[in-house]
Every structure is written in structure tokens, then in C-alpha cells.
Structure 1
């Protein structure tokens, strides 16, 4: 029985060891949204919504909120260097993925909201696939 408990503890520590702290500025920007959890690793910022479906509007709001955190507090991301933002429903089965990180967020900051939503986001977005992400 002790071996099983030790094994589970080891697995939990390995899994949590890959997660990085989410910058406070991102957490602050996402606070008003219906977020279940936010996790950051070296490749992706994953935002799990507390909703059964991630619509285009919800997705755009999350991306704009994350990017706003960098625009308003440029030094707030520190050494964070994720390359995509995953916005996923509460079941982890549906969502959208933004291909980009700090550089793309800075580019968004130079565009109008219409340009972001009608041109930039569609060019940098793919659908979430639970098996492929």
C-alpha cells in the first residue's frame, strides 16, 4: 500500500513540476471571466473555461485579455515564453488555439479591435483537438 501512495505522490510531483506560475497580470485580466483554471508550461498557456462551449466571442475575449496584460504591464510576463494560448471548454473536449505568444500580443496591441477580430485572430487560430494538443 505504501508503494502505491509513494508512486501516486511521485507522479503528482512530476506533473506539477512542469507547470510554471502564471504571471499575475494575466490572472488579473482573466479574473472577471468565467475561468475554471489557468495553467502555464513552456509551450502553452491553457485557459480552461467554466463553460460547455468556447464560442468565437469567448475565445476573442480571452486572447484580448491575455494580450492586454502584456500591453498594460510590459515587464509582467518575465521569462514566460509560451508559443500558444489554448482556450478549452470545461470538459477539455472543445476549444480554440491561438498560435502566438508575446510577439503576437504586441502586434495585437497595434491594431484596432476590428482588425484583431476580423483579420489577425482568424489567421492565428486553429480548433482545439483533445488528441492533438
Structure 2
């Protein structure tokens, strides 16, 4: 196959893969997963998300919620109270995604010790210098 044809083929493959990769990058992000899991039990307020997700900054929470809303995974409802009460809830599409995330979370819980042991064994086997050196 000529060099020119190879380039065309890879462009076509990349054109199809890019949207999928973009969606996976969004929903598999560290903060997105935690927000989706936290909101799975019903509407949740911003401050509850902020308190419940360790390590997330207010700005990162705002940006991630905005992106999830833009992607149609979260709805934002502002209640006309003083001060305004804002709640976030999963859309039906996000609820479907949550089922998959729950399976992944369950798998991680079941296999976390196995992974930790495998890492330790790998590190021992591939240690370039003994600890006594």
C-alpha cells in the first residue's frame, strides 16, 4: 500500500475514533466519575458534592458539572429561594452509564488486593537496584 493511502486510512479511522475518545475522556475523568456516583441517589446540591468529593476544588467542581451538563449527563435545577438552591441530577443516559460505573467499581473493590500484590511483585522483580546498595 502506498504511503498516501495509509494516511487516508488513518484519517478515516481517527475521524471515527475521535468522538468516542472524547466521550470516554469526559466520563472516565477522575472528577466526572465521582460526581456521577455521588449524584446517583437523587438530586444533590453543589455544597454536598463539594464536601463529599475529597480533593476537588470549587472551580474544578464547577467546570466538571458544567461539562457534564453540556454533555447531557447532568441537569441543573435552580429553585427560586433566597439564597437560590441549586441541585444537580443524573439524566436517564447518565443513569445508564452509572450502572456500568457501578460494575467497574465493584470489580475494582473485588480485585484491589490482587492489583496491589501484583504491583508489589512487579516492583520487586523489576527493581534496578537492591535496597541495600
Q: TM-score, normalised by structure 1?
A: 0.31
Q: TM-score, normalised by structure 2?
A: 0.31
More strand per residue: 1
Larger Rg: 2
More helix per residue: 2
